[in-house]
């Protein structure tokens, strides 16, 4: 990994890409979504403050665990500008996502544990299907495989028509 001298406070997009492991196109995308920012030189080249390295690392880590970009942007907006976020800054932000991640883990475990049964049974029953209807949440308003018909109904009508 190329080292950048400490006295350099701004990075080119190429330097940021090399150090962060993100493609230049990804950095441009992150910037367009308000996740990182740059200034333009007189020659219209992007220059990123060094704290962009940590911000890009944060974005990529959050994306890997499925945090939506809008949520990541909100979190990054709470960080101070032009200074490298501290461990305490990151801990505060990541703590807010803990409950959401725990719920996702629970859902993924349920999917893993019941996927073979679901594919094998072919029941399409909303009353009993632990994947389409966990904890029978549709039991109060629907019965049978209505949700499956409603989801695929427009496609089935197009195929017949």
Average pLDDT over residues 69-80: 86
Instruction: With a cut of 90, say whether residue 20 has pLDDT above it.
Output: yes
| Sign of the dihedral defined by the CA atoms of residues 139, 145, 146, 152, in that order | positive
CA distance 92 to 70: 18
Instruction: With a cut of 60, say whether residue 113 has pLDDT above it.
Output: yes
Higher pLDDT, residue 31 or 145: 31
CA distance 135 to 127: 9
Strand ranges (E), the chain? 10-11, 39-40, 46-49
CA distance 128 to 5: 61
**pLDDT class for 46, splitting at 50, 70, 90?**
very high
Instruction: Report pLDDT for 6.
Output: 61
- Give the helix, strand, coil percentages of the chain, each rounded to 5: 55, 5, 40
Helix (H, G, I), strand (E, B) or coil at 26: helix
Instruction: Report pLDDT for 86.
Output: 79
Residue 80 to residues 37, 41, 51, 52, Cα–Cα distance (Å): 13, 23, 10, 12
CA distance 67 to 61: 9
Q: What is the DSSP code (8-state) at residue 47?
A: E
Three-state DSSP string of 74-106: HHHHCCCCCCCCCHHHHHHHHHHHHHHHHHHHH
Instruction: With a cut of 60, say whether residue 44 has pLDDT above it.
Output: yes
Percentage of residues in the chain having pLDDT higher than 90:
27
Instruction: Report pLDDT for 136.
Output: 59
Q: What is the DSSP code (8-state) at residue 35?
A: S
Helix (H, G, I), strand (E, B) or coil at 40: strand
């Amino acid at each position: 990994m190329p080292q950048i001298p400490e006295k350099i406070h701004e990075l080119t997009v190429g330097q940021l890409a090399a150090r962060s492991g993100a493609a230049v196109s990804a950095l441009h995308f992150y910037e367009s979504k308000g996740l990182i920012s740059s200034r333009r030189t007189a020659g219209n080249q992007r220059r990123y403050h060094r704290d962009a390295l940590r911000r890009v690392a944060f974005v990529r880590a959050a994306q890997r665990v499925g945090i939506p970009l809008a949520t990541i942007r909100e979190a990054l907006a709470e960080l101070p500008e032009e200074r490298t976020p501290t461990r305490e800054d990151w801990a505060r932000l990541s703590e807010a996502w803990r409950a959401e991640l725990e719920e996702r883990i629970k859902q993924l475990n349920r999917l893993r544990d019941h996927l073979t049964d679901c594919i094998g049974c072919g029941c399409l029953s909303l009353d009993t299907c632990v994947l389409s209807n966990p904890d029978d949440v549709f039991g109060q308003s629907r019965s049978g495989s209505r949700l499956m018909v409603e989801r695929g109904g427009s496609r089935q009508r197009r195929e017949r028509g």
